[in-house]
Amino acid sequence: MEEKSVVTMTYQTPCGELLLGTNSGALIQADWVDGWHEATVRARLNRYLGNPEFISGTDPVLQETASQLDDYFAGKRRTFDLPLRFLGTEFQTAVWDALTKIPFGRVTTYGEIAEAIGKPKAMRAVGIAVGENPFSIIVPCHRVVGRDGSLTGYGGGFDAKRYLLNLEGIRLPSAVQQEFRF
């Protein structure tokens, strides 16, 4: 299969459907099908892969991704061990990498992420990068809340975010008490 091809499959979660995609043996997408930012994700894939061909199917990485997601939703997995390929700017990649360090069952804020990546005044830019995270659930942007512990935007919608946080034992508005600091 050529480098420009993206193999895709859908995965049904208890809170919505994800579109999973791989390229060159790595996961490049796990995004909500009904998400408001599908055009952003497609534009990024086109920019970094040069208008790839999208092929509906499966491969070993997609199968492993589905298996690990099954385990997560069954309460048997707290972290993901998948080959990820971040397609983004250096700043976005730094933000997405920081998201991977937020432990299961904990939350953090945009300000904390900005501090962690050495850009303490870049909270809004961090918020944009979090919103463009192409790996919903796997790179846990659902663990980012407002400074006051409030539920903030999420590509899968507020109900999905609330479901995922509840699955991890986080009950809002007490999230501030469970805040993770880098």
Positions of CATH 3.30.160.70 in the chain: 5-73
Nearest partner of 82 among 59, 102, 103, judged by Cα: 59
**Positions of the chain with pLDDT under 70:** 1-2, 35-37, 173-182
Question: Which residues, in sequence order, are CB contacts of 109 under 8 Å at separation 6+?
Answer: 144, 145, 146, 147, 179
% the chain with pLDDT above 70: 91
Positions of CATH 1.10.10.10 in the chain: 90-178
Segment 66-84, tens digit of pLDDT: 999 999 999 999 999 999 9
Q: What is the pLDDT of residue 3?
A: 75
Q: What's at 75, amino acid-wise? A: G
Selected catalytic residue, list 113, 141, 160, 165: 141
Nearest partner of 119 among 93, 144, 137, judged by Cα: 93
Q: What is the pLDDT of residue 1?
A: 44
Known active-site residue 15: no
| Sequence-ordered strand ranges (E) for 74-165 | 108-109, 144-145
Rounded CA-CA distance 25/43 in Å is 21
Q: What is the pLDDT of residue 36?
A: 60
Q: What is the pLDDT of residue 178?
A: 53
Rounded to two decimals, the pTM is 0.90
Strands of the sheet with 5-13, listed across from one edge: 26-32, 16-23, 5-13, 53-56
Q: Which CATH class is domain 5-73?
A: alpha beta
Q: What's at 116, amino acid-wise? A: A
Q: What is the pLDDT of residue 173?
A: 65
Whether domain 90-178 has CATH 1.10.10.10 = yes
